[in-house]
Amino acid sequence: MTMQTCPAAAAGAWKLGDLTVNRIGFGAMRLTGSAAFDSGAPADPGRAIGVLRRAVELGVNHIDTAAYYFSKQLSANELIRRALAPYTDDLVIATKVWPSRDPSGEWHWAAPEELRGQVEANLRELGRDHLDVVNLRIPPSRRTGSIAEHFGALAELRDAGLIRHLGISNATPGHLAEARNIAPVVCVQNSFGIGAPAGERELLRSCGERGIAFVPFFAIAGAGREAGRVAAEDESVLAVARAHGASPAQVRLAWTLRQGPHVLAIPGTGDPAHLAENVAAGALRLSGEEVALLGS
């Protein structure tokens, strides 16, 4: 597939360890239409499966998911399996552990010895014999605490062959340093987008210097987070969008990708039209002046 027929390749590629992925990926959170992660889209398995298959047709080969992405009707992992198994060799599926949800939606944070069960749940749901990338999703209560026991437990599962590569999510520079002393880290997955604080911008730059992928979530939603964008759009974003005949969401994605060649986008949607729009954002080229206007 050439770049002309592979829109997701327009922004280039990066490596998660030894796994090469296009920089425009796909986040599975909004597929389920769950109450916890409300996409505003109907919980329609046929529609969700169609979106996943279309993403791959567009050249997406990096999908971000989690066992706790589910609603009463749908599970993101099971949708991925139904849509895409048997998986192609170039498809990279990344998941997250530490938090989980019971059927009622109540949250639970796993003890280190419980992480194997979470990894095995992802394996069963996805129909895999190993996981490409597992991110340790750090709880807010550990922003200043140690993650050594939990990351060490994942490193043992990596040594056992259940996991190929490890990452961390919702992390600080201290977490990254601690994790790297235990095992290689291929990615940091944090909330990031236009208006991100200086500390997050510095962490992004630090990852690039170390060859570590930085994977922003909520790059489009910003402060809206799980609910999507709820506030009025920033005028500078609107101005750049008008200049390019693009949507504000595309401008936000293009700006995020412009932050470094190691930045991987994982926008999520349950809408086929929004999927095509998000993937097309990889071809949007912002000028230096526009990047500065939006916040360098």
C-alpha radius of gyration, the chain, whole number = 18
What integer pLDDT is reported at residue 188 of this predicted model?
A: 98
Question: Which residue of the set 14, 68, 69, 255 is catalytic?
Answer: 69
User: Is 9 domain-assigned?
Assistant: no
- Return the structure tokens found at 265: 């986008």
Half-sphere exposure of 222 (CA within 13 A, CB side): 18
Structural domain contains residue 183: yes
Q: How many residues does the chain have?
A: 296
User: Helix 115-126 and helix 76-84: axis angle, to 10°?
Assistant: 40
pTM of the model as a whole: 0.93
Q: pLDDT tens, position by position, for the chain (296 residues)?
A: 544 568 999 999 999 999 999 999 999 999 987 444 444 444 689 999 999 999 999 999 999 999 999 988 889 999 999 999 999 999 999 999 999 999 888 999 999 999 999 999 999 999 999 999 999 999 999 989 999 999 999 999 999 999 999 999 999 999 999 999 999 999 999 999 999 999 999 999 999 999 999 999 989 975 544 444 545 788 999 999 999 999 999 999 999 999 999 999 999 999 999 999 999 999 999 999 999 999 86
Residue 3: inside a domain: no
CA dist., res. 212 & res. 217, Å (int): 16
* Contact call for residues 256 and 216 (beta carbons, < 8 A): yes
Is 84 inside a domain boundary? Answer: yes
Would 14 be classed as within a structural domain? no
Note whether residue 288 is domain-resident.
yes
Q: How many CA atoms lie within 13 A of 149 on its CB side?
A: 9
Strands (E), 83-124: 92-97, 99-101, 107-109
CATH number at residue 40: 3.20.20.100
How would you write 2-40 as a 3-class SS string? CHHHCHHHCCCEEEECCEEEECECEECHHHCCCCCCCCC
Q: Is residue 290 part of a domain?
A: yes
Instruction: Map residue 235 onto helix, strand or coil.
Output: helix
Is 69 among the residues known to form the active site?
Answer: yes
Are the C-beta atoms of residues 294 and 288 closer than 8 Å to each other?
A: no
Note whether residue 2 is domain-resident.
Answer: no
Output b/e per residue, 40-79; b: 16+ Cβ within 10 A. ebebebebbbebbebbbebbbbbbbbbbbbbbeebbbbbb
70 CB contacts (<8 Å, ≥6 apart)?
32, 34, 76, 77, 101
Q: Find the domain containing 67 and state its range.
A: 19-294
> Cβ(203)–Cβ(263) under 8 Å?
no
Phi and psi at residue 107, in whole multiples of 5°?
-90, 150
Burial label for 114, CB within 10 Å (0-12, 13-18, 19+), is middle
Cα(279)–Cα(135) distance, integer angstroms: 23
Task: Give me the number of domains the chain comprises.
Answer: 1
Please list the helix, strand and coil fractions of the chain in percent, rounded to the nearest 5, in that order.
45, 20, 40
